[in-house]
Chain A
Amino acid sequence: GAGVSQSPSNKVTEKGKDVELRCDPISGHTALYWYRQSLGQGLEFLIYFQGNSAPDKSGLPSDRFSAERTGGSVSTLTIQRTQQEDSAVYLCASSRTVTNEQFFGPGTRLTVL
């Protein structure tokens, strides 16, 4: 079956612009995570959705970052007024439940000029 998909695969933007990153999780997966990874380094947790519960936003680095998950499926990560330090690969993952392994998407490479 289809895996986790993310779009766009690459995004180049100018400093100060807003960007939207999309994640389509595997159908039926109730948990969805967003992470950020810089230059093949570790995973930085951003936000976590579990079913209909309020999302865990504890990893969002600033109020310029927000995310929503509509209908318990597709999620959008929005970065407002992008800065150069926002440049990274943004990874989305989903799992059947919180106790199952995560399936990762290919990521969106964001470059802020």
Chain B
Amino acid sequence: AQSVAQPEDQVNVAEGNPLTVKCTYSVSGNPYLFWYVQYPNRGLQFLLKYITGDNLVKGSYGFEAEFNKSQTSFHLKKPSALVSDSALYFCAVRALNRDDKIIFGKGTRLHILP
């Protein structure tokens, strides 16, 4: 069965520091991987996705994520955090070539401290 884990409920980072939001997954076969963001009082927005190709994926708002097959991880990163990055972040996964639904993690709340 597919699953995705976001081990941290909350991450606090000082503005200007690099940030990482962790995600690990479990699927049968190769994965499609996604990150979504939910800003306060706003809808969920797509950030980036990995399907195949380069393990480092760049997305919106300066975010990037690195696919690591051996560690079954897809951590979200940004070199320099902004206060405006404070939001709820969701990792999602589904198996390639399977007619399965996308599974979302429980979310990680990111607080960027000024």
By a beta-carbon cutoff of 8 Å, the part of chain A in contact with chain B is 33, 35, 40-43, 45, 48, 50, 53, 56, 91, 93, 98-99, 101-107
The winner among B44, B46, B94 for most chain A CB atoms within 10 A is B44
- Give min CB distance, B11 to chain A, whole Å: 15
Complex: how many Å from CA A42 to CA B46?
16
The answer to whether A102 touches B43 (Cβ under 8 A) is: no
The answer to whether B104 touches A50 (Cβ under 8 A) is: no
Complex: how many Å from CA A5 to CA B103?
22
User: If the complex has contacts A98-B99, A99-B51, are A42 and B104 also in contact, measured as CB distance less than 8 A?
Assistant: yes
Please report whether the interface of chain B is mostly helix, strand, loop or mixed according to DSSP.
Answer: strand
The answer to whether A98 touches B101 (Cβ under 8 A) is: yes
Interface residues of B in 88-114 (CB under 8 A from A): 88, 90, 94, 96, 99-107
- Is B34 located at the chain interface by the 8 A CB criterion? yes
Complex: how many Å from CA A102 to CA B49?
11
The answer to whether A33 touches B102 (Cβ under 8 A) is: yes
Interfacial chain A residues near B44, Cβ < 8 Å: 43, 91, 93, 102, 104
Interface residue tally for chain B (C-beta within 8 Å): 23
Interfacial chain B residues near A103, Cβ < 8 Å: 46
Interfacial chain B residues near A99, Cβ < 8 Å: 32, 51, 94, 96
Interfacial chain B residues near A93, Cβ < 8 Å: 44
Task: For A45, give its contact among B43, B90, B101 (CB under 8 Å).
Answer: B101
Interfacial chain A residues near B107, Cβ < 8 Å: 41-43
Complex: how many Å from CA A48 to CA B32?
17
12 more CB-based (< 8 A) A-B contacts, given A42-B106, A50-B99, A93-B44: A33-B101, A35-B104, A41-B106, A42-B104, A45-B101, A91-B43, A98-B94, A99-B51, A101-B49, A102-B44, A104-B44, A104-B45
The answer to whether A107 touches B43 (Cβ under 8 A) is: yes
The answer to whether B101 touches A102 (Cβ under 8 A) is: no
